[in-house]
Amino acid sequence: MNADTVILILVATITAGVPLIFAALGELVVEKSGVLNLGVEGMMIVGAISGFMVAAESGQLWLGVLAGAGAGMLMALIFAFITLTLMANQVATGLALTIFGIGLSAYMGQAYSSVALEGIKSLHISLLSDLPVLGQLLFSYDPLVYLALLLFPLLVWFLYHSRGGLIVRAIGESPTSAHALGYPVIRIRYLAVLFGGAMAGIGGAYLSLAYTPLWSEGMTAGRGWIALALVVFATWRPGRVLLGAFLFGGVTIAQFHVQGLGVDIPSQFLSMLPYLATIAVLVLISRNAKTIRLNAPASLGQAFHREVH
């Protein structure tokens, strides 16, 4: 393996991690507010097809990205209404959202499975992109990659250095006290869930508009679930989400290169790697029950009604 291959693998790893960064950072905010939305996979795939449809019809790729975000938010709104206003079980509602989303996306995408799209292009910054090694490693991505990387510091700032973030975390820890202090628990949870939906939608749109610019049924292939696992893996800390996303990006890419190296393993076994890696990492993190219990938002998954508490 020469240096060029290594750089190629690193670059591919970054891009493979990007949809996970969007979806997992979005879900992180949702869970910080005390809500567990298992519908990430459903929101992602509806974001993927909505983005693709809008881009294919309008010829505007960025309009597609916006549509992906909007579609993810609409899906999240369904979840928010049922779990926050009507106080239904969050686990079951999230599952319903995923089943609904997979069905809906297959249905919406029926006419688009053979449509070809240019896809969002990588930026070429003169001088910088032409630098040897660094140029490729740092300045050869499409704008959404940079957006994902920008999202991370913004989110850290918001969650840990802003008043809004403090309120979100307080609500996740103890909605009853937050309510007593006068914070609108339900409204803030709504906002968090909608933000998570928009991020999942963008993550999905990244898949169908940039990563592999095409639509195929079930193309998210469990990435929404891996994003959920990432949040646990990260013990609800944004830095670790970023790290984890690249780790899984690397595992995803590794499967192609193992085969390229002439190792004779059936492709199906290599495709299992991301899922097996997710399980392995979950085991490592969960082994110490205390880390999970200390870090998970205390009210995660519990419904809130101001007259019941």
102 lines the binding site for another protein (CB under 8 A):
yes
| Candidate list 28, 76, 80, 97; residue touching another protein; CB under 8 A | 97
Q: What is the rounded (10 degree) CA torsion for 179, 183, 184, 185?
A: -50
Q: Cα(297)–Cα(232) distance, rounded to whole angstroms?
A: 11
| Candidate list 93, 140, 208, 299; residue touching another protein; CB under 8 A | 93
Residues in contact with another protein, total (CB under 8 A)? Answer: 49
298 lines the binding site for another protein (CB under 8 A):
no
Closest distance to another protein from the beta carbon of 88 (Å): 4
Contact 228, 71 (CB under 8 A): no
225 lines the binding site for another protein (CB under 8 A):
yes
294 lines the binding site for another protein (CB under 8 A):
no
50 lines the binding site for another protein (CB under 8 A):
no
Interacting residues with another protein between 5 and 44 (CB under 8 A)? 38
Q: Cα(18)–Cα(211) distance, rounded to whole angstroms?
A: 9
Closest distance to another protein from the beta carbon of 106 (Å): 4
Interacting residues with another protein between 150 and 209 (CB under 8 A)? none
268 lines the binding site for another protein (CB under 8 A):
yes
Closest CA to 117 of 48, 70, 69: 48
Contact 211, 39 (CB under 8 A): no
Nearer residue to another protein within complex by CB, 81 or 152: 81
Nearer residue to another protein within complex by CB, 16 or 102: 102
Closest distance to another protein from the beta carbon of 96 (Å): 4
Q: Cα(307)–Cα(309) distance, rounded to whole angstroms?
A: 6
Residue type, 102: I
Q: Give the DSSP per-residue string, 112-169.
A: GTT-----PPPP--TTTTTSSSHHHHHS-S-HHHHHHHHHHHHHHHHHHHSHHHHHHH
Q: Cα(241)–Cα(276) distance, rounded to whole angstroms?
A: 18
| Candidate list 1, 91, 134, 154; residue touching another protein; CB under 8 A | 91
Contact 200, 23 (CB under 8 A): yes
279 lines the binding site for another protein (CB under 8 A):
yes
Q: Which residues of this chain interact with another protein, rule CB under 8 A?
A: 38, 78, 81-82, 86-89, 91-93, 95-97, 99-104, 106-107, 110, 217, 221-222, 225-226, 228-229, 232, 266, 268-269, 271-272, 275-276, 278-279, 282-283, 286-287, 289, 292, 305, 307-308
